[in-house]
Amino acid sequence: MKKLKVVLLGCLTFAASCQNQNKDMSKPEAPIAKKVAKELSKHDDVRIDDYYWMNDREDQEVISYLEKENAYYAEMTGHTKDFQAALFEEMKSRIKEDDSSVPYKKNGYWYITRYEIGKEYPVYSRKKESLDADEEIIFDCNIMAEGHEYFNLSSFSISPDNTLAAFSVDTVSRRKYTLQIKNLKTGEILTDKVDNTAGNSVWADDNKTIFYSKQDDVTLRSDKIYKHKLGAASTDDVLVFNEEDETFGAYVYKSKSKKYIIIGSYSTLTTEFRTLKANDPDGEFKVFSPRTRGLEYDITHYENDFYVLTNKGGATNFKLMKVEEGNTASENWKEFIPHRADVLLEGMGIFKDYYVLAERKNGLNEIKIVRWDGTDSYYLPFDSETYTANVSRNPDFDTEILRYSYNSMNTPSSVIDFNMSTKAKEVKKEQEVLGGKFTKENYIEKRVWATARDGVKVPMSIVYHKDTKLDGNAPILQYSYGSYGATIDPYFSTVRLSLLDRGFVYAIAHIRGGQYLGRPWYEDGKLLKKKNTFADFVDCSKFLIAEGYTSPDHLYAMGGSAGGLLMGAVVSMAPELYNGIVAAVPFVDVVTTMLDDSIPLTTGEYDEWGNPNEKEYYDYMKSYSPYDQVAAKSYPNMLVTTGLHDSQVQYFEPAKWVAKLRDVKTDTNVLLFDINMDAGHGGSSGRFESLKEVAKEYAFLLDLESKIE
């Protein structure tokens, strides 16, 4: 422990000043929120919510309370302010400021994203035919962001004749995007303007018709697809599809073959597609195969056929089927690649002579390359157990080059061009870690397996500095998400080095609710099995303690959004296991939120969490919902964060949770609430501004660790 403290403090001597200040200053008083009892009744069960009044963002009393919480956070962390700034500069110093992406070629142009020294936002540019050609700036987001506290260019879509760009911008962080069009020849922004879109758009072949998705004003559900004609008023746009089922969302895109405009409808368990030939923008979209509850499928077009990735017929881990263009209903699908119980089929990419499969086996990414004529088939070789390999952007169809990315917990990310014919590979770019101190050999990565309480083996990916002793006193930050089938693959992070170099171990728990071990891994952590997610995380923590990696005095946990729900559930189940918790934008008032279909995204969540209008799901949700489970007991030190404009987890969920915890918890541990008054779910915009939020989180953890005797 003595060695750890030397590493922790080093030249950043914040702890000493912290101790001196604490001796001279009395502890600030935490804000106490008023109580206004609100009776919530369902299924003959009555819940009293004393903080329901916080739901109104426009209420000045709510804003005043949040500002008091921010002031309390600032007072309580004032002694780490310089350390936060030093951490920020340290993390920033590892990142190459004047960086650029590996160019990709599409429709005769090389497209590049680059950053300039001292600037927060990307510059999007292109070069015609050759990388030696003059650079043409498409968007300089640094200029576009001027005057805005928040800025996000969601995406842009180039017209087939390369002269126009449809783009979408959000300056509030509410994920309401304004769609506009730029003339790439003149630089002029056209008068066309559509508000409250979902951010994506696609061009038809005529270079004057744009399809885009629009959101419900209240729920923010993307439910309508419109057709816009260049030069027309948005009020004249034609509604081409309306997703009336409130549990579904809708989006629009163009097939890689460029032949079809495709509308996708999706819920958690069911999908449906509609197709229209891109050269017939005023035609009618045709249903690919009618939706059937529980049937998921995704489509890829090649020559005269569609390839369908689907779970049809009980294919839990998905299989690939094939169907002719003209008759695409599911009864006509023919098996192309069968279902495999031990392999999750995640996606398919097409090229002129090859197709590429993204698979996952025993938790590990695999990339399989197959010639259409069947003369060659092989997997790319990967050796580590803590790596991530993904097929990258490959817009070119007629090429033998597959671009993919690779990184591991101790290996910076690389972008690799692989010749599928010769099997030769070229590393196009390797992530630079500036500062001259990083070498991968200084960090140890491995995968371990914990045994959950029901006997299931749960994997964890771990990384730590080679000088860190796993002697029961090593501080560990355990991270996870565990919902929606989203897999947190083991990945490299330059930011994380600020923890590893100070003696921390970083562990990703691949718990149920994600899809790390295939689709059944997800199914076993949702709906009425959701508590498996929380139990897995706790049992992974117990494993780390039992195996002598750490102890409860040195164990920390972090999660965001649904991972914030995980944190809330974990501190209800086993608060004694952790010294500190970071719950970012946490979804903690599960029952109330899921009963309120006016809240953005709620109705589309029923297949994930259940519908509490049914008593069975209501009772189950209430039994783990962190807000409902707050009790008079001791909790770990906690940092809770949110954004006032969050459209996914409303700010009032963590606000109410913190207020209730303050009222009833019996310990004297720190409870801090940090509200970004200018941001939403993703936090601050800008390449480096977001690092300040990470610096706050890391300073919180390191400060706690430094105080342990």
Q: For 33-70, what is each residue's pLDDT tens digit?
A: 999 999 999 999 999 999 999 998 889 999 999 999 99
Which residues, in sequence order, are CB contacts of 574 under 8 Å at separation 6+? 538, 541
Q: Is the dihedral of CA 643, 646, 651, 654 positive or negative?
A: negative
Assigned token pair, 463: 């990384």
Q: Say which of 539, 681, 684, 703 is annotated catalytic.
A: 681
What DSSP string describes 558-583?
A: EEETHHHHHHHHHHHH-GGG-SEEEE
CA 601/CA 599 separation, integer angstroms: 6
Per the CB < 8 A criterion, the answer to whether 158 and 210 are in contact is: no
CA 249/CA 265 separation, integer angstroms: 6
Count of beta carbons in the 10 Å neighbourhood of residue 154: 17
pLDDT at 688 over 90: no
Assigned token pair, 171: 């300056």
Instruction: Give the residue, 9 or 321, on which the prediction is more confident.
Output: 321
Active site residue 206: no
Which residues, in sequence order, are CB contacts of 664 under 8 Å at separation 6+? 630, 631, 632
Q: Residue 4 — very low, low, confident or very high, per pLDDT cuts 50/70/90? A: very low
- Please state the length of the chain: 709
pLDDT (0 to 100) of residue 1: 34
Q: What is the DSSP letter of 452?
A: P
pLDDT at 673 over 50: yes
Q: What is the CA radius of gyration of the chain?
A: 26
Which residues, in sequence order, are CB contacts of 505 under 8 Å at separation 6+? 462, 463, 464, 468, 470, 474, 475, 476, 477, 549, 550
Q: Which of 560, 461, 481, 491 is nearest to 522 (CA)?
A: 481
Q: Which of 4, 32, 12 is nearest to 658 (CA)?
A: 32
Active site residue 100: no
pLDDT at 9 over 50: no
CA 275/CA 255 separation, integer angstroms: 10
Alpha-carbon distances, residue 168 vs 156, 182, 206, 679 (angstroms):
7, 11, 21, 18
Which residues, in sequence order, are CB contacts of 132 under 8 Å at separation 6+? none
Q: Residue 154 — very low, low, confident or very high, per pLDDT cuts 50/70/90? A: confident
Q: Residue 2 — very low, low, confident or very high, per pLDDT cuts 50/70/90? A: very low
Q: What angle do CA 656, 511, 550 make, to 5 degrees?
A: 85
Question: What ranges do the domains of the chain cover?
Answer: 340-434, 442-550
Compute the average pLDDT of residues 93-100. Answer: 90
Q: Which of 215, 235, 217, 233 is nearest to 225 (CA)?
A: 215
CA 696/CA 692 separation, integer angstroms: 6
HSE (side-chain half, CA atoms, 13 Å) at 590:
30
pLDDT at 272 over 80: yes
Instruction: Give the residue, 135 or 218, on which the prediction is more confident.
Output: 135
Q: Which fold has domain 442-550?
A: Rossmann fold (3.40.50)
pLDDT at 511 over 50: yes
Q: Say which of 289, 408, 541, 561 is annotated catalytic.
A: 561
CA 570/CA 577 separation, integer angstroms: 9
Identify the residue whose tokens are 């005797």: 709
Q: What is the 3-state secondary structure (H, E, C) of 205-245?
A: CCCCEEEEEEECCCCCCEEEEEEEECCCCHHHCEEEEECCC
Identify the residue whose tokens are 């689709």: 519
How does the average pLDDT of the chain come out, rounded?
92
Active site residue 645: no
What DSSP string describes 93-132?
A: HTS-SS-BPPPEEETTEEEEEE--TT-SS-EEEEEESSTT
Count of beta carbons in the 10 Å neighbourhood of residue 697: 19
Question: pTM value?
Answer: 0.88
Assigned token pair, 67: 């500002």
Per the CB < 8 A criterion, the answer to whether 92 and 492 are in contact is: no
Count of beta carbons in the 10 Å neighbourhood of residue 242: 11
Per the CB < 8 A criterion, the answer to whether 259 and 301 are in contact is: yes
Share of the chain above pLDDT 90, in %: 83
Q: For 395-444, what is each residue's pLDDT tens digit?
A: 888 999 999 999 999 999 999 999 999 999 999 999 999 988 899 999 99
Q: For 347-378, what is each residue's pLDDT tens digit?
A: 999 999 999 999 999 999 999 999 999 999 99
Compute the average pLDDT of residues 619-633. Answer: 98
pLDDT (0 to 100) of residue 683: 45
Instruction: Reduce the DSSP state of residue 275 to 3 states and report it.
Output: strand
Q: Say which of 170, 417, 536, 646 is annotated catalytic.
A: 646
pLDDT at 684 over 70: no
Q: Residue 268 — very low, low, confident or very high, per pLDDT cuts 50/70/90? A: confident
Instruction: Reduce the DSSP state of residue 279 to 3 states and report it.
Output: coil
Query: Where is average pLDDT lowest: 8-22, 74-88, 452-466, 570-584?
Result: 8-22
Q: What is the dihedral of CA 411, 413, 419, 423, to 10 degrees?
A: 10
Assigned token pair, 596: 């309120």
Q: Residue 289 — very low, low, confident or very high, per pLDDT cuts 50/70/90? A: very high
pLDDT (0 to 100) of residue 111: 96
Instruction: Reduce the DSSP state of residue 136 to 3 states and report it.
Output: strand
